[in-house]
Amino acid sequence: MKRIHVVGTADTKGEELAYLASRIEAAGGHPLVVDVGTGRPSIAPDIAATEVAASGQEGTAEALASGDRGRAVAAMSAAFARFAAGRADIAGMVGIGGGGGTSIVTAGMRELPLGLPKLMVSTLASGDVAPYVGVADIMMMPSITDLAGLNRISRVVLDNAAAAIAAMAMRPHYKADGKPAIGLTMFGVTTACVTEIVDHLKGDYDCLVFHATGTGGRAMEKLAGSGLLEGIIDITTTEVCDLLFGGVLPAGSDRLDVIARTKLPYVGSVGALDMVNFWAPETIPEKYRGRTFYNHNSNVTLMRTIAQECHALGVWIGKKLNACEGQVRFLIPEKGVSALDVEGGAFWDPDADAALYAALEATLVQTPLRRIERLPLHINDPKFAAAAVEAFHDVKRR
């Protein structure tokens, strides 16, 4: 029977874990208490910390016994990630914790499949939770008070958490309609293109559009690596700009590696490679003062990439694509790469674009499987979208 895993450090949070499990049971759920603590538990968990630690790599036991809290937390985090990934009896997972507990529990949650309920009650939930959530669908709930014993506030929060995880775990699960899923990348300045592509393909494919904000690209590629996508139309590779030039929405250094690893049918382009993202103007590094900027809003400032940077982008992407042995088509829109990169627009710079295109063509080693194509169109021209659709049909047929 699948059960709701109730996870925390039973040496410091035993009372709260027991209470949370009891409230889940009262809500109709079936809890299983898992201890990920590094000390003696104050309650009897269903799964002991030693069992979790046994899932870790060599040296885990030594790290847990070292007395070094940071080392112990890192070791238990890695062990719990392996433990969670290997379980087939998880109906949902709810965790409680402060700094160490949140790090340990969410390491396991990130290994669980998309759609499996994941709820973390944490003292850190109202801050920057990106390191804990990553690209997983983890819901973070602020604990309000510290998790240091039960009180009138913590009981309310834990009651709500119990009701939420029980309801999510017991709900009927959504079933896909059977259409194959594909991933597409989009930014505001390439919306017209990607929307047109989706309109062409949505009858045959479940089109999953990812906002190219760093986490979007990573989420798409995680799904691809998990075998949940049957192809990718990567129109908007802008996250590479932020990776190379210090923007705030960067791709990971492993961007595009999953295409090489899986050999998924791939159509790519240069969408929004004309911009690096920063927050408000005062956050822009001093070395970029005097450059061409566009104020997207009061909190987001875009910087136009120059020819030297565009050359580096072309080389970086070309080298990544050279490792791909599946079907690859890469399309170049000669009349501009974004809504701002249009004649008379704020980022119109034919020389910078030319440097990008030349670097791509010089770096990408073309083969019968891997080809690059120039089109005398703007990226948001409906004809460019139609060409991308045709290219996708082509790579899927082969």
Mean pLDDT of 11-31: 98
Residue pLDDT, tens place only, 283-330: 999 999 999 999 999 999 999 999 999 999 999 999 999 999 999 999
Instruction: State the amino acid at position 135 in one-letter form.
Output: V
Q: State the pLDDT at residue 67.
A: 87
**201 & 340 share domain:** yes
Within-domain flag for 63: yes
Read off the pTM: 0.88
| One domain for residues 249 and 342 | yes
pLDDT at 382 over 80: yes
Say how far apart CA 21 and CA 23 lie, in whole Å: 5
Q: How far apart are the first and last CA of the chain?
A: 43
Distance in angstroms (rounded) separating the CA atoms of residues 249 and 252: 10
Look at residues 13, 33, 172 and name the one whose alpha carbon lies nearest to residue 94.
33
388 domain-assigned: yes
Residue partners of 350: CB distance under 8 A and separation at least 6: none
Task: Summarize pLDDT for 100-138 with one digit per residue, the tens.
Answer: 999 999 999 999 999 999 999 999 999 999 999 999 999
The whole-number pLDDT of residue 108 equals: 98
**Domains of the chain: total:** 2
CB 186 within 8 Å of CB 194: yes
pLDDT at 175: 73
Question: What is the chain's mean pLDDT, rounded?
Answer: 96
Q: What is the pLDDT of residues 175-194, one digit of tens each?
A: 777 899 999 999 999 999 99
Selection from 161, 158, 214, 146 nearest residue 185 by Cα: 214
Q: Quick count: other Cβ atoms within 10 Å of Cβ 18?
A: 19
Three-state SS at 345: coil
| Structural domain includes residue 175 | no
- pLDDT at residue number 23: 98
pLDDT at residue 173 in the model: 76
Say which CATH number the domain at 102 has: 3.40.50.12020
Q: Within this chain, do residues 160 and 41 fall inside the same structural domain, yes or no? A: yes
The answer to whether 237 touches 274, Cβ cutoff 8 Å, is: no
204 and 282 housed in the same domain: yes
Instruction: In whole angstroms, give the CA distance from residue 89 to residue 80.
Output: 15
Tens digit of each residue's pLDDT (9 = 90 or more) over 37-59 = 999 999 999 999 999 999 999 99
| Mean pLDDT, residues 241-261 | 97
> Where residue 248 falls among pLDDT bands split at 50, 70, 90?
very high
- Domain check: are 93 and 211 in the same one? no
**Cβ contact 276:241 at 8 Å:** yes
Same domain? For 143 and 188 the reply is no
Owning domain of residue 117: 3-170
